[in-house]
Amino acid sequence: MVKKEQVKNTDGGLQIWKVIGVFALVFAAVQLAVAVFDVGIDYLMRLINASDNLSVFVGSTVSRIGMIAMILLITTPVIRSILKDPDSNRIYPRVKYWYKDLFAGIGISAIAMLIVFLVELAFGWIRVSGLMLEGAAVDNWLRVMWLSILINLTAVVGEEVLYRGLLLEGIKESWDERGALFISAIIFGASQIAAAGAKETNWLQFIPFLALPGVMLGWAYLKSGNLWLPTGLHFAWNLFQNDIFNLTGAHRGDTLFGFVTNVTGPKWAVGKSYGIEVGAVGILGLVLVSIGVWWWTKNREKQSI
């Protein structure tokens, strides 16, 4: 038994770099497959001159479901291969009451974002001037809300499967939980630079701030033992921050169906246009979500005894 542990520790460095290398290749493959699928469906919708409703309720639905399918089809065999456990289902296991973890995550992040929103209102850091779709037709409301759900869900599933299901789990198997949590969170934070907003701040400052959500989501994954809980947390965090409470003050966007806001607070408090994650209110949100995860997993474990 001692010899086995010694071998694992000796080979750990090589295994870690193997996992990171495989992650980079899979990440690139997923991005390419998703882009091709998206462009193909968009071209088809324009070819048939589809209406807005048809483009969203049919075209976007097919496109996003296809993207999620491509993500799972590419990553699942790689995860099973790298973990050398072909019979396991480490991504979204069909465990009993899986939906409770999913909806618990959604509820925890929704409450956290509501508290952050109320705190900003109380300090005068954010002002609400109305609703983005005020006076719009019902089908317009439904179209934007549905598009918001589809886009957020696709992005979240992709990130959770790649960063937690593949990267974190792979490093954990080759090293340990703490190292896996730290490394996967740093890579997660660094990768967010390419998304938007890096020009507003120092990269060395930006990465650690954006690594913190990676730590929280990774911890939620390790505590729950599946991706359902972090997926719910991540989905509601993005949905309520950007498309409902509009905490960044982005007055435009195809997925915004909540408040039209003007963010006037100091950047150290409210963050930047990228998101609240690089501000004090983002730290508050992470603390609230972490407390919620701790409470949920603790009570969940008690119920299962």
pLDDT confidence tier of residue 305, bands split at 50, 70 and 90: very low
At residue 1, the pLDDT reads 39
- Percentage, residues of the chain above pLDDT 70: 87
Condensed to tens digits (0 to 9), the pLDDT of residues 39-85 reads 999 999 999 999 999 999 999 999 999 999 999 999 999 988 887 76
Q: pLDDT value at position 253?
A: 78
Q: For 185-218, b where at least 16 C-beta lie within 10 A, e where not — what string?
A: bbbbbbbbbeeebbeebeeeebbebbbbbbbbbb
Give the pLDDT confidence score for residue 96 in this predicted structure. 81
For residue 179, the one-letter residue type is G
Cα–Cα dist 164/147, whole Å: 25
The answer to whether 168 and 182 have CB atoms below 8 angstroms apart is: no
Give the pLDDT mean for 31-45: 94
The whole-angstrom separation of Cα 208 and Cα 159 is: 18
Question: What's the pLDDT tens digit per position in 154-187?
Answer: 999 999 999 999 999 999 988 889 999 999 999 9
Among 60-64, 96-100, 281-285, 298-302, the minimum mean pLDDT is found in 298-302
28 band by pLDDT with thresholds 50, 70 and 90: very high
| DSSP conformational letter for 136 | -
pLDDT at 302: 61
pLDDT averaged over every residue in the chain:
88
Residue 203 or residue 53, greater confidence: 53
Give 35-46 as a DSSP string. Answer: HHHHHHHHHHHH
